[in-house]
Structures are given as C-alpha cells and as structure tokens.
Amino acid sequence: MEEKLGKIDHHIFEQFIALHCGKQRSEVLVKAAFGVDVSVVALGNGLAMALTSDPLSLIPSLGMEESAWLSVHLMANDMATTGYAPMYGQFVLNLPSWLSRGDFENYWRYIHQFSKDIGLAITGGHTGFIEGQNSTLAGGGTFITVAPEKQILVSKNARPGDAILITKSCAISSSAILAMSFPKTVQNKLGTEVYHKACESFYQTSSLQDALIAVKGHNGRVLAMHDVTEGGVLGAVYEMASASGNGARIHYEKLPVGQVQDQVCRLFNLNPASCIGAGAMVIATPEYQTGEIIQDLKNEGIECTHIGNFTEASAGIQLLKDGQPETLVYQEEDPYWAAFFKALKEGLQ
C-alpha cells in the first residue's frame, strides 16, 4: 500500500474494509460506510444506540488542555450529526513513555472536565504507556448515545433538492493549530492580532452546539448532518453526497472563509476549503427551512451560510466557480498534513 498521511483511501474502505466487518446482524441499522459519521444499532422498544470512534490527540506543542479538548470534542462532533449529544465514552490511552505523571494527570483532568461539560459519562477503557510512541495520536475512543430510533439523523439521509448549509468558517482547526504550533512565524508574517485571533478560534472547533441548535427539537427541519474534518468543507460535502447517493452543486464564492483563517492558510499555501476544518457542520435541510435555521444559529452567535444544494446523482458533484461548473475531485490526502510537516522540517517556529 502506498504510504500516505491521514484517513485511509475511501476506495480501500469501500472495496475491502466495508466488505469484511464480521457477522451481519439484523439489528445493525447503519453500518460502517464512507461519509457516515456513526453506526446505529436497534435496541427495541423504539430505541437505538448510536456509536462513533476516533483517535485521541496528544500534541505537546499545543498543551495538555488543548489536546484533551480535541480528544473529547472531535468525537462529540461526530455524534452531534445524529442531532444528539454523546452520553457515554470509552477511552483507550496508548501514552508515550516519556510523558510525566503530572502531564498525564493534567491531560486526564481536562478529559474529565470537557466530558462533564457536555454530559458525557466516562464508562471505561484502557490506559498504558508505550515505548517508542512518538505520534500525536495517543490511542482512540468510542462515544455512545441512546435515542429514539426514528429521530437519529445520519448523513446518508440527505435528499436531492435539500439545501446545503455550513456553519462558521472553513479551516477553523487547521488555521488554529498551525498558528499555535508555529507562533513566531505567524506573528512575524501576519502580525500579533491575527495570531491571537487564530489561537482564540481553537475553541470553536466544537460543532456540537451548532447541531443541537439546528435540529431544535427534531421537528424534521434537519434531515442529515456531517461534521467537517479531513478534506475540509469541500471534502465533507463530497462525502455526504456520496453517502446519500446524491450529486451536489456548490457555489465556491459562497464558501465561508474567515479573514484570519484565510490569512493563515495563505501563509502555509493551503486552500481553506480543502483542509481539516473541525468546528464547521454540514447541514441538509429542505430549502424552505434555511432562513429559520440560519437565524436560530445567528441568535446564538453562530454564523451559517447556504452554499448550494444536493442534486440527483446523475448530475454529479459540481463546484461552480464564477458560475462555471467543474467536477469536484475528492482529495485522498488532506494537504494540511504535508504543510504541517513541511513547516516542521524547515524549522519554522
């Protein structure tokens, strides 16, 4: 297999992993699939269990608090796409041997606090120290929630004609982490104000409230959601269209890009629309509901932008630039990783 960074090639997932997932059980309503954030298992009596898993972050250059925030909230973002907050969490920690007990306790206190803040009970897992562990990923976790089966949203439920809404901005997490990882470079090139604003945006990388405000009581106004991670906003829309068997028309000029995110991405030669963008949520809704959802989010201080619509699959996934359509090509590797490690190699500070 060709060496690459980030998520596994989606063709490998579809052609191999998805075909080898153990015993088929009738109670599994939503199984592992490209572009789908959660799995759903029927429990009976009208209830179902939603599950999602993700790596845990441990990034010394950011700090223990920030690493714990990413560990909790990136999984919570996935669960948020159901329209519900996570309820239970399992954590598997494979910690580097050089991590001090003080740093570990600091990290775990923040895991506890951020979990408590969103109503998550930590129910178990595994904790160990590993020799040679030098990755910024320190294990993995699974979040679980139980909710009425018919009210759990999944990204594959988007329909042709549905409006595509995006909350906040493209590249929130990419720009924040780059600024925090290379503070001197960002301050020298872009100024202290941009640097501080980029760092402050780190805590916008949760999209849990975006989702809960958007669904507002599950009255049917939101049909599907997908959180933005690797591949950015464009990758997330592509994944959602693929998962739901739809095409899409995306207006490139309407993609929301904050001034700070734009400047930091330009500095590292990144397109904000195509790099890791945790904190933004893709929402599929009937066209007539868009104004109400946008206003409800705005009332809570969350910007939301209508960027296009899902279409019939036969129309393909199209990106309109200056009104001219072009086929959107899915990026197998998020350019953020190359930019981050290039900056490290060049000794940027």
Please state, for a pLDDT cut of 90, what percent of the chain lies above it.
Answer: 81
CATH classification (class only), 155-345: alpha beta
For residue 169, what is the enclosing H or E element?
A: none
d(CA 13, CA 195): 38
Question: Angle at which helices 192-200 and 259-267 pack, to 10 degrees?
Answer: 110
Q: Name the CA radius of gyration of the chain, rounded.
A: 20
6, two tokens: 């980030």
How do residues 123-167 score in pLDDT, each as one tens digit?
999 998 888 777 777 899 999 999 999 999 999 999 999 999 999
Residues pairing with 150 in the sheet: none
Question: Angle at which helices 183-190 and 172-181 pack, to 10 degrees?
Answer: 100
Look at residue 342 and tell me whether its pLDDT is greater than 90: yes
How do residues 56-111 score in pLDDT, each as one tens digit?
998 888 899 999 999 999 999 999 999 999 999 999 999 988 889 999 999 999 99
Look at residue 3 and tell me whether its pLDDT is greater than 90: no
DSSP string of 182-223, one letter each residue:
SHHHHHHHH-HHHHHHHHHGGGG---HHHHHHHHTTT-SS--
Domain map (residue ranges) of the chain: 22-151, 155-345
6: nearest Cα among 339, 335, 270: 335
Domains 22-151 and 155-345 share a fold: no
223: nearest Cα among 309, 143, 304, 318: 309
Find how far residue 344's CA is from the centre of its chain: 24
Query: What is the CATH number assigned to the segment(s) 22-151?
Result: 3.30.1330.10
d(CA 219, CA 199): 36
Position 214 scores a pLDDT of 97
More confident residue, 21 or 232: 232
76: nearest Cα among 107, 116, 136: 116
52, two tokens: 């999602």
Average pLDDT rounded to a whole number, residues 259-271: 98
Position 9 scores a pLDDT of 66
| Other CB atoms within 10 A of residue 101 CB | 7
d(CA 237, CA 273): 11
Position 6 scores a pLDDT of 60
Please state, for a pLDDT cut of 70, what percent of the chain lies above it.
Answer: 96
Instruction: Show Cβ contacts of residue 302 under 8 Å, excluding neighbours closer than 6 positions.
Output: 167, 168, 209, 210, 213
Average pLDDT rounded to a whole number, residues 166-185: 97
d(CA 173, CA 203): 9
Per residue in 247-286, is it b (16+ CB within 10 Å) or e — as a string?
bbbbbbeebbbbebbbbbbebbebbbbbbbbbbbbbbbbe
Residues pairing with 250 in the sheet: 308, 319
226: nearest Cα among 158, 288, 176: 158
Position 1 scores a pLDDT of 42
- Judge contact between 282 and 237, C-beta under 8 A: yes
User: Which ranges of the chain does DSSP label H, i.e. alpha helix?
Assistant: 10-15, 64-80, 101-117, 172-181, 183-190, 192-200, 208-215, 232-244, 259-267, 290-299, 335-345
d(CA 303, CA 345): 36
- Residue written as tokens 């990758």? 235
Q: What is the mean pLDDT of the chain?
A: 93
d(CA 72, CA 121): 12
How do residues 267-295 score in pLDDT, each as one tens digit?
999 999 999 999 999 999 999 999 999 99
